[in-house]
């Protein structure tokens, strides 16, 4: 499918059918996150988007965000005993940012368990980074209420294990796009431009390829990602490598 080809959306009737589709068993998700709920209603609520009805997951998301920050902060302090507060804060931010949480949610197949309204289903809401990240935080909050801090810590470690393993307290404080912009400004060069070179995949699983161009230097690099923003960051990172920056 070419980038210019339009992708049809489900009809209202189709969206209604999808919204009331048979969801996988919650026990499958419990195994994936490593916690069996004494009160399954908490997990159901964590998976319920506002568009579906009440009780929805926004309060659990708020709670889960706080629990997540505490668990990650404690783990980073344990792993990096000599790092400064600023370094630890940057490492934590890289782990709990929306895109990183959405990636972890996809790894456990969370989208298949979400309960969404017709409009969200029609617009592929189950694959949206914000929806996935919010739902994962809500699952953390539900786990905390169901089993306490230790249970929440176990689930967070299981879901974010790879991100915690890859954490680097000495990593640069700024993202690739910001670094590239500041590098070019320091050299009195014009800022880069970004354009979507192509998109591929179904509407709910699109992959973007973005090209970052510095015309003044006749340099270009591309990057791919599940969102345009993620692809732009990777393209900027690749261009920085070309510049040796």
The residue among 54, 41, 32, 53 whose CA lies nearest residue 145 is 41
User: What confidence category does residue 244 fall into, taking pLDDT thresholds of 50, 70 and 90?
Assistant: confident
pLDDT in tens, 166-183: 888 776 667 889 889 888
Q: Is the backbone of residue 49 left (phi > 0), alpha (psi -120 to 50) or beta?
A: beta
Whole-number Å distance between alpha carbons of 144 and 146: 5
Domain range list for the chain = 12-165, 176-243
| CA distance to 138, 200, 214, 223, 234, per residue, from 193 (Å) | 37, 21, 7, 13, 14
**Which of 120, 127, 137, 146 is an active site residue?**
137
Percent of the chain with pLDDT over 70: 89
Residues 100-121 have pLDDT tens digits of 899 999 999 999 999 999 888 8
Distant-in-sequence, close-in-space partners of 198: CB < 8 Å, separation ≥ 6:
3, 208, 209
CATH for 176-243, options being 1.20.1260.10, 3.20.20.70, 3.40.640.10, 3.30.160.20: 3.30.160.20
> pLDDT tens-digit profile of 21-68?
567 889 999 999 999 999 999 999 999 999 999 999 999 999 999 999
Closest CA to 91 of 170, 29, 10: 170
pLDDT digits (tens, 9 = 90+) for 127-169: 888 899 999 999 999 999 999 999 999 999 999 988 888 888 7
Single out the catalytic residue among 61, 65, 103, 209. 65
Q: Note the pTM of the prediction, 2 decimals.
A: 0.65
Let me know if the fold of 12-165 is the same as that of 176-243.
no
To the query of whether residue 137 is one of the catalytic residues in this protein, the response is yes
Q: Determine the average pLDDT of the residues in 220-225.
A: 94
**pLDDT tens-digit readout, 59-90:** 999 999 999 999 999 999 999 999 988 888 88
Write the CATH number of the domain with boundaries 12-165. Answer: 1.10.1520.10
To 5 degrees, how large is the angle CA 196–CA 181–CA 225?
35
Active-site annotation holds for 209: no
188 phi/psi in degrees, rounded to 5: 60, 45
C-alpha to C-alpha distance for 34 and 29, rounded to whole angstroms: 8
């Amino acid at each position: 499918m070419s980038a210019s080809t339009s992708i049809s959306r489900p009809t209202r009737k189709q969206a209604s059918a999808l919204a009331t589709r048979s969801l996988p068993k919650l026990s499958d998700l419990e195994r994936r996150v490593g916690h069996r709920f004494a009160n399954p209603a908490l997990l159901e609520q964590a998976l319920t988007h506002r568009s579906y009805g009440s009780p929805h997951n926004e309060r659990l998301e708020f709670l889960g965000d706080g629990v997540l920050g505490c668990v990650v902060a404690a783990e980073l302090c344990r792993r990096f005993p000599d790092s400064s507060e600023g370094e630890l804060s940057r490492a934590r931010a890289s782990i709990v940012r929306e895109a990183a949480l959405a990636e972890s949610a996809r790894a456990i197949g969370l989208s298949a368990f979400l309960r969404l309204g017709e409009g969200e289903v029609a617009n592929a809401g189950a694959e949206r980074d914000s929806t996935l990240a919010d739902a994962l935080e809500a699952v953390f909050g539900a786990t905390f209420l169901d089993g306490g801090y230790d249970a929440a810590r176990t689930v967070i470690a299981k879901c974010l294990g790879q991100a915690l393993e890859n954490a680097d307290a000495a990593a640069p404080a700024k993202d690739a796009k910001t670094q590239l912009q500041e590098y070019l400004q320091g050299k009195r060069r014009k800022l880069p431009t970004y354009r979507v070179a192509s998109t591929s995949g179904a509407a709910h699983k699109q992959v973007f390829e973005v090209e970052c161009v510095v015309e003044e230097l006749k340099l270009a690099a591309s990057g791919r990602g599940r969102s345009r923003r993620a692809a732009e960051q990777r393209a900027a990172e690749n261009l920085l490598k070309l510049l040796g920056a």
